[in-house]
Amino acid sequence: MDLYTQTCLQCSKVITNSYSTSFSAGIRAFGKDLRMPIYAIYAYVRFADEIVDTFHNQNKEALISQFKTDTFTSITQKISLSPVLHSFQFVVNKYQIPHNLIDAFLKSMEMDLDKTAYSKDGYEEYIYGSAEVIGLMCLKIFCNGNENQYQNLLPQAKSLGAAFQKINFLRDIKSDFEDRGRTYFPGVNFANFTNTDKKTIETDIQQDFDDALVGIKKLPNSSKKGVYVAYVYYLALFKKVKKLSAITVAQKRIRITNTHKICLMLWASLKIKLNFL
């Protein structure tokens, strides 16, 4: 790997560490060869998300449009002067990540620019583009050219991405609804969020978790531990949300303490080491 590419990948690692201590900790549970590619994926999607969520004094439409153009230009030319885009194109080209996954992701980012409420179809499209395709990009890296393995694990990878995203929606109701005016779950009135609404959403998320675990057990050893650590963390967050009332969930962001995260990581790592998964 040349010095420039290596330096760009290190930049993606710094970005990941800055934005998410939990995700960074999970990445360290992967095999060494997988860590930098996953950092590159995270940094790329993080920056796209920043455009639509935080650059309020900028022309977001123009920025995301340019980001999309620059993304595919870098992939075609196999180089970019943006460290994040160069890292991303390197991973896309090396692991042959399908371009339609990138298209779907960027479309979901564009949806966030003007969508404030979603129909069932729109919700499913957004979940696919914002979360499921991220799981599929990572799965391409995990399978490293084994197309049969990728196709066999594809449904479960989508389920895991969906579960993570839906939990994020559920715990971020207050900020999404009050600060951004967004309502992701179709048919739910968050001005009057009920326990029945919450239970319906939780049933759907539980199914995603159950489906995802089937796939995690079949992952290569180099990626199984890292994915399972993330799974255990989000499952713990989900269980905490389930214990709370709809009113509480709608009024504050639910978190897992750092101490609890460390305990979960150690427990998940031990379970993998002892082949109990």
Q: Which domains does the chain have, with CATH numbers?
A: 1-114 (1.10.600.10), 141-277 (1.10.600.10)
* Pick from 127, 141, 107: nearest CA to 38: 141
Whether pLDDT at 252 is above 70? yes
Q: Stretch 206-230: mean pLDDT, rounded? A: 95
Q: Stretch 51-75: mean pLDDT, rounded? A: 95
Whether pLDDT at 76 is above 70? yes
Q: Which residues contact 276 (CB under 8 A, 6 or more apart)?
A: none
Using DSSP, state whether 181 is helix, strand or coil. coil
Q: Stretch 131-158: mean pLDDT, rounded? A: 97
Using DSSP, state whether 117 is helix, strand or coil. strand
Whether pLDDT at 115 is above 80? no
> Of residues 94 and 171, which shows the higher confidence score?
94
Residues 249 and 213: beta-carbon distance below 8 Å: no
Whether pLDDT at 168 is above 70? yes
Amino acid at 124: E
Amino acid at 23: F
pTM of this prediction exceeds 0.95: no
Q: Write out pLDDT tens, residues 182-213.
A: 778 888 888 888 999 999 999 999 999 999 99
Triad 112, 64, 188: Cα angle to 5°: 5
Q: How far apart are CA 98 and CA 80, in angstroms?
A: 19
Q: How far apart are CA 260 and CA 237, in angstroms?
A: 10
Identify the band that residue 171 occupies on the pLDDT scale cut at 50, 70 and 90: confident
Position 191 scores a pLDDT of 80
A 10 A CB-CB count for 163 gives 28
Identify the band that residue 107 occupies on the pLDDT scale cut at 50, 70 and 90: very high
Whether pLDDT at 1 is above 70? no
DSSP secondary structure code for residue 129 in this structure: I
What distance lies between CA 164 and its chain's CA centroid?
7
Q: Which residues contact 253 (CB under 8 A, 6 or more apart)?
A: 171, 172, 174, 175
